[in-house]
Structure 1
Amino acid sequence: MTAGANTADNPWPVRTVNTKIADWVHRLGQIWVEGQITQISRRPGTRTSFLTLRDPAADISISVTCSPDLLARSEVPLTEGAHVVMLGRPSYYTGRGTISLRVSDIRPIGIGQLLLRIERLRQLLAAEGLFDTRMKRRLPFLPRTIGLISGRASAAQHDVVTVASTRWAAVRFDVRDAPVQGPTAVTRIIAHLNDLDAHPDIDVIIIARGGGSVEDLLPFSDETLLRAVAACTTPVVSAIGHEPDTPLLDLVADLRAATPTDAAKRVVPDVEAELAGITALRRRSAHALRNWVHREDRVIAGLRARPVLADPFSMIDRHVEGVERARSDIRRDVLRLIDTQERRTEALAARLATLGPAQTLARGYAVVQRTDVDPPQVLDSVDGVGAGTALRIRVADGSLHAHVDQPAHPDHQEPDQ
């Protein structure tokens, strides 16, 4: 740094000026700054995030740097437009001659505080399981009576009733008017909710409102109301605001509708669409039935065209010749066997006749039997044959009976004939 007074003859170099400015800025130390976030730049892989903080009442802004973890740890998601208070230390970069605020704490204020409270309640109810999809009740296909809680003569009430009646003319409503913002809203809504839930004819309950600011929608993030909805036995539909509006009632209710009109469409079926669907189903079923009949008819025709069904006796006819041939073979074999056995029998009979007594008798011999004993005995000796013995004499052509008049001597031999 050049010594002496700063004059035209003794000017300060830029580095000296920037260094002096940096010294003065750094003397501020840590300060709290209020403003509105207008830009957030998160650079992956770096240890610094860049923001722009703007004064809501003037066209003045300041660059802000912080750790990415600080943004991630925020209880309320920080987005562009959020109103916040930051704790930081001003830093002057002598190389570029720019000033920025290095912050170590960011706190939402105003709406941000409300969002913080809602976020804490959301985490509590989520931990208790009130948002679990398994606890959601199914809506009936065609409700008998719909309970509607909305503002008196409000656009939301008109939209729900008009759209539902257009879709299904026979639908009925039990409309309950209640304030949908302000200090009495929660109490009135809970009273109507309990009354409708206890009514046996109410099949579904719609809580509707036509949107609003975060402050206006606070009743629909009230813990008492949320627990009352979770305790209902009747399905509850949340139709609060428009698509961007997300009060906690949307998470606790059994069904979240983007708008009141969407709630009417989700709860009541469109009669014309249902009739068109029935017609289409009837047409498709008739077409499917005709195709099935044609397919089965082709199958039957194919079966009938098969030879075994077209001419059932053809299979039998093919075997008739074989059966006849088998019968002829069996008959021939039996006759041949019989003929063989007959010839064998004749041969045996001839042999038997040759060896039998008939041939002997035919040559003049006789068979003599005693008939006075039982059974008759063939005489092969004269021993024991006395006078008067009854005899039967068998010759070739018959037999005759005789009596012994005189016994023969054993040593007497008759001459051979």
Structure 2
Amino acid sequence: MEGIDRNGTATVPEGACTVGQLNKEIERALADAGNRFPGHVVGEVSEVSDYGFGTFFELRDPETDPSISCLAWSDAVASFDHDLTAGTEAVVEAEVDFYPDRGDCQLLVTDYWPLGESTRQQELEQLEAQLAGEGLFDESQKQSVPAHPDCIGLVTSPAGSAREDVQATVGERSPRTEIQLCGATVQGESAVPSLLDAVDTLDRDPEVEALVVTRGGGSDTDLWSFNAEPLVRRVAACSTPVVAAIGHEDDETLVEEAADARAMTPTEAGVVTTTPVEDLLEELTVLERRVTHGYRTLVESRLEALDRRVESAHETLTRRVQQRDAVRDRVRDLDRRIELAYGGLVAEQLDTLDRDVERGYRALAATRLDAIAGRLDTAMSDRELAAESEAARDRVARRRLGDLEARVDGAFRARVTQELDSLERRIDRAHREITADARVKRNAVRARRFRTAAVVLGALLVFLAVVAAVLLLAG
């Protein structure tokens, strides 16, 4: 740039003007323009602020976000057929005015005709009715904000004054409370996604006990992000209690309706979410006095009740001791009377009992002896009959065994003799047929084997006879 020397200083270029001169030139240019600006402007009314000398408001483009400040003097407002209402789409009759002292451009409104609610305002009302119908704004769905949170989540612009207001209020009222800041964009196209992300992050943080969503004042356009349906639904669905403080006292947004509590300003949001240390100390003092008073009252009441119970118990014990002594006296008297009566009665009863026992014993002994004698006679008869029957069975068995032995012996002898005769005949025939000495020897060996077999066969027959005899005896 020309006019700058090596030391960094500069000289005023030719043709440069001051800010005041520039503003004056703009004022003259607007005045010279005259009828170049249209006399009527269409827009949505917002930010209506009434003062004694006039009313300020914003006129926003119905289709886009641009807006312009407006001023209607009090005499002009008095001539309007309708009240200036925020959210109304209207036509204003105005001229462009410029204030050179501040460099502000605005419309000086001389008349006003409402066209009805703006499309944006109608959509907002429809959304509000829909969400209300779904119960998002019901008081029964709202949570209580904890009075003494250890950690508060804060969703706002990190660079805004709202953050400073909340932090200052919380730090002053409850120094022990921690503030977890999650910065977000609070106006513009990126505001809704940024706010959603911040709310979701803090709502999922288990250490955060209360959540504050806030921003400072602004126009309806600046605050419009807080009417977005996704953000309103997310705030209503938070498991963490939410306190909303959007704009100033007159500003209203759907997020504030969906929140569990509303504060007029960021400073009040800090008040809503905390309890002053002084109040806590006062509450503790009151509680301590109440506990002390209650303790004393309870102890005194308990002691009095115990005294009454001890006194009553003492009187009861005294009466019971007296009753016991009286009972003991009666028992001793009865013992003496019983002893005297018992002595005479027992002697008499014993004599009578002795006589009865002796008579009964004699009669019973005679009867029992007769019965025993009869049973012995019967038993002896049965025993003799059983012995005779056993002897008869023994004699029959012995005879059968003798006959069996004789039969076995005769059969054995006949069989052995028959086998021996047959064996001898076979040996003789074999001897005659064999001429060689070797064959004779083999026949002799064979004969010995046959004899051995005969002996074994005989022993087997004897064994079978004995088994048969045993079976007969057993039968």
Normalised to the residue count of structure 2, the TM-score between the two structures is 0.45
1:237 correspondence with 2:218: no
From 331, 345, 358, give the equivalent of 2:336: 331
Residue 221 of structure 2 aligns to a residue whose secondary structure is: coil
CA distance in 1, matches of 2:185, 2:280: 36
Shift of 1:219: 1.6
**Aligned-partner residue type, residue 171 of structure 1:** T
Shift of 1:123: 1.1
Unaligned runs of 5+ in 1: 1-35, 37-54, 63-78, 87-106, 349-417
**Aligned-partner residue type, residue 324 of structure 1:** D
Shift of 1:110: 7.2
1:320 correspondence with 2:325: yes
Shift of 1:301: 1.3
**Match for residue 121 of structure 2?**
115
**Match for residue 309 of structure 1?**
314
Superposition pairs for residues 335-414 of structure 1, below 5 Å? 335=340
1:133-189 per-residue CA deviation (whole Å, 9 max, x = no partner) reads 454455455444433222454332222111101122132323344443344433432
Superposition pairs for residues 164-313 of structure 1, below 5 Å? 164-199=170-205, 201-306=207-312, 309-310=314-315, 312-313=317-318
Residues 111 and 214 in structure 1, CA contact (< 8 A), matched pair in contact too:
no
Shift of 1:85: 7.4
1:195/1:333 CA distance change after superposition, 3 Å: closer
1:322/1:221 CA distance change after superposition, 3 Å: closer
1:297/1:199 CA distance change after superposition, 3 Å: closer
From 154, 157, 163, give the equivalent of 2:163: 157
1:111/1:57 CA distance change after superposition, 3 Å: farther
CA distance in 2, matches of 1:344, 1:134: 93
CA distance in 2, matches of 1:112, 1:326: 109
CA distance in 2, matches of 1:157, 1:292: 50
Aligned length: 257
1:126 correspondence with 2:140: no
CA distance in 1, matches of 2:267, 2:80: 42
Shift of 1:344: 13
Shift of 1:263: 1.4
How high is the sequence identity, in percent, across the aligned residues? 32
**Aligned-partner residue type, residue 157 of structure 1:** R
Give the structure with the higher percent helix: 2
CA distance in 2, matches of 1:241, 1:211: 4
**Aligned-partner residue type, residue 274 of structure 1:** L
Normalised to the residue count of structure 1, the TM-score between the two structures is 0.50
Residue 212 of structure 2 aligns to a residue whose secondary structure is: strand
Residue 175 of structure 2 aligns to a residue whose secondary structure is: coil
**Aligned-partner residue type, residue 222 of structure 1:** A
Shift of 1:201: 4.3
Shift of 1:58: 6.6
From 152, 175, 180, give the equivalent of 1:146: 152
Residues 213 and 243 in structure 2, CA contact (< 8 A), matched pair in contact too:
yes
Give the structure with the higher percent strand: 1
**Match for residue 45 of structure 1?**
none
1:333/1:80 CA distance change after superposition, 3 Å: same
